[in-house]
Chain A
Amino acid sequence: GIQVEQSPPDLILQEGANSTLRCNFSDSVNNLQWFHQNPWGQLINLFYIPSGTKQNGRLSATTVATERYSLLYISSSQTTDSGVYFCAVLSNFGNEKLTFGTGTRLTIIP
């Protein structure tokens, strides 16, 4: 099945810093989503972005499908941004399931 790798696995930043999270995947995809899992365990949809670039406030994402990677940018980090960020993909090749990466744990220090 498709492999999804996220980097870095852990990131500790001061409030106000910017960060870039990366997601690499092994096959072509027709669905890519970024999620934020907050400390209470809730999975929050950030972006549905199988290709192209999107922005939502301080967050933006870019997926370069031909090169099999996606980037999530967080600017002016706030403590509420802490949590785990997951990338999840759906392969083009008939597999029905959304496969999750192992996540990036982001900790924002006041």
Chain B
Amino acid sequence: DSGVTQTPKHLITATGQRVTLRCSPRSGDLSVYWYQQSLDQGLQFLIQYYNGEERAKGNILERFSAQQFPDLHSELNLSSLELGDSALYFCASSKTSGGVSGELFFGEGSRLTVL
């Protein structure tokens, strides 16, 4: 158990819908990262938050948004879902950010299926 909690573990929805994925970081970790892994693909970085503020952005679609709340949990919102959004979405956390981020720990992922 990495200490990073993601919910829901599985989600099936239809095209055009909106979903919210939730992540609770490890105790004491201030940074949260979101990654997307499509079928048989590598892990693509979406976005990072540190202590409530956005710190880095990857190739995140405009239909996707995220935030980190004062209690440090984070949510990733995916809207106007398309078939191609079906993927495993991972959250990771670390104590700090950037060059001295230290080790990242990943949650078990949220598997999204868009039908």
Contacts and interface: CB of A to CB of B under 8 A. Distances in A.
Contact of A48 (B58, B102, B108): B102
A95 B104 contact: no
Interface string B20-61: 000000000000010100000011010010000001101000
Interface in A72-110: 86, 88, 90, 92, 94-103
Contacts of B99: 30-31, 90, 92, 94
Nearest to B111: A41
13 contacts: A30-B100, A31-B99, A31-B103, A31-B104, A35-B106, A43-B90, A45-B105, A45-B106, A86-B42, A86-B43, A96-B55, A98-B33, A99-B45
A97 B33 contact: yes
Interface in A1-46: 30-31, 33, 35, 41-43, 45
Contact of B58 (A31, A97, A103): A97
Contacts of B98: 94, 96
B48 A96 contact: yes
Interface of B: 2, 33, 35, 42-43, 45, 48, 55-56, 58, 88, 90, 92, 97-106, 108-109, 111
Contacts of A45: 2, 103, 105-106
A44 to B, nearest CB: 8
Contacts, number: 58
Interface size class for chain A?
20 to 34
B45 A98 contact: yes
Q: What are the 10 A-B residue pairs with the smallest beta carbon separation, nearest first? A: A96-B56, A48-B103, A97-B45, A43-B106, A100-B43, A30-B99, A102-B42, A100-B42, A96-B98, A96-B55
B11 to A, nearest CB: 14
